[in-house]
């Protein structure tokens, strides 16, 4: 458990490093367009939110990420299940899936923009494409990893194949699926930002691009800060869901313990 002393130390360390950053930038007169002082970043953050600019772009990026995440995960889950459950699907489709996997999906972003335009659609598709893989692979592995003894138990009870799927294989795959969702969420965010870089009318990625052209480095820093917080929060959401669903998984308990030590 964290003690009061640890918390105080954490805060102190944070303040000290911000102060040091501010001090170094001022003393050595580092130009703002190279490396802005924290006070400049804070000001940019304040202005951005005060003008409503950041809210607009943030909500756009969030929407893309979530839609892409949902679409990509759903697709990945169903395709993964199809590959795991059907020999023919595995035989005929899996090689292509592997081929596609070894391709850096962000390299597809320019094509996606050509096909789907500068609007929301192209960013959602790109986010979905990137988010899709972890789900596919994890679902596949999860569904195939049912313990031999448990399958035998179900068989000995004269369970049908569909009962074995619903009562054994699917719940057994859940820890894998949840781990896949964990990764897919962050991947969706990456996919959305990359698509915005390539071409978009709104979104935090587009904002970064614009600020870069205008040499507004403080602005870029403030958006990066927002992005890292968004990433962290999205990740926490999945974690909460995971704890809810996998309360029975001893491995989950171990993970929790480790995290508690790490934090």
If one asks whether residue 154 binds other proteins (CB under 8 A), the answer comes out as yes
- Contact segment (CB under 8 A) with other proteins among 56-64, 72-80, 89-97, 161-169 equals 161-169
Backbone angles phi, psi at 146, to 5 degrees: -60, 130
Interface with other proteins, residue 177, by CB under 8 A: no
Q: Does 248 bind other proteins (CB under 8 A)?
A: yes
Reading the block at residue 197, the tokens are: 């870089």
Q: Which of residues 123-152 bind other proteins (CB under 8 A)?
A: 147, 149-150, 152
What are the CA-CA distances from residue 162 to residues 21, 88, 159 (Å)? 61, 18, 8
243 binds other proteins (CB under 8 A): no
CA distance 155 to 177: 25
Cα separation, 79 vs 177, in Å, equals 13
Residue 70 touches other proteins, criterion: CB under 8 A:
no
Q: Which of 186, 178, 188, 187 is nearest to 255 (CA)?
A: 178
Nearest approach in angstroms of CB 225 to other proteins is 40
88 vs 247, beta carbon nearer other proteins: 247
Contact in structure between 109 and 194 (CB atoms under 8 Å): yes
- Based on the shown chain and the rule CB under 8 A, indicate whether residue 241 belongs to the binding site for other proteins: no
Q: Which stretches of the chain bind other proteins, using CB under 8 A?
A: 147, 149-150, 152-159, 163, 167-168, 171, 174, 247-250, 253
């Amino acid at each position: 458990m964290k003690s009061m002393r640890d918390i105080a130390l954490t805060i102190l360390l944070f303040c000290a490093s911000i102060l040091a950053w501010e001090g170094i930038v001022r003393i050595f007169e580092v130009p703002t367009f190279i490396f802005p002082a924290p006070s400049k970043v804070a000001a940019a953050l304040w202005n951005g939110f005060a003008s409503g600019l950041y809210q607009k772009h943030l909500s756009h990026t969030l929407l893309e990420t979530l839609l892409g995440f949902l679409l990509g995960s759903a697709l990945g889950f169903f395709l993964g299940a199809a590959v795991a459950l059907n020999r023919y699907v595995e035989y005929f489709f899996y090689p292509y899936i592997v081929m596609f996997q070894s391709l850096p999906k962000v390299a597809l972003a320019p094509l996606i923009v050509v096909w789907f335009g500068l609007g929301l659609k192209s960013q959602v598709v790109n986010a979905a494409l990137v988010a899709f893989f972890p789900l596919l692979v994890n679902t596949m592995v999860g569904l195939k990893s049912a313990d031999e003894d448990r399958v035998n138990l179900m068989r000995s009870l004269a369970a049908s194949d569909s009962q074995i799927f619903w009562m054994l294989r699917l719940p057994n795959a859940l820890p894998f699926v949840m781990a896949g969702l964990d990764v897919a969420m962050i991947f969706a965010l990456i996919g959305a930002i990359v698509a915005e870089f390539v071409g978009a009318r709104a979104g935090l990625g587009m904002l970064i691009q614009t600020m870069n052209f205008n040499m507004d480095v403080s602005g870029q820093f403030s958006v990066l800060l927002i992005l890292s917080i968004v990433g962290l929060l999205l990740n926490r959401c999945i974690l909460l869901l995971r704890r809810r669903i996998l309360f029975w998984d001893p491995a989950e308990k171990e993970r929790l313990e480790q995290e508690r030590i790490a934090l």
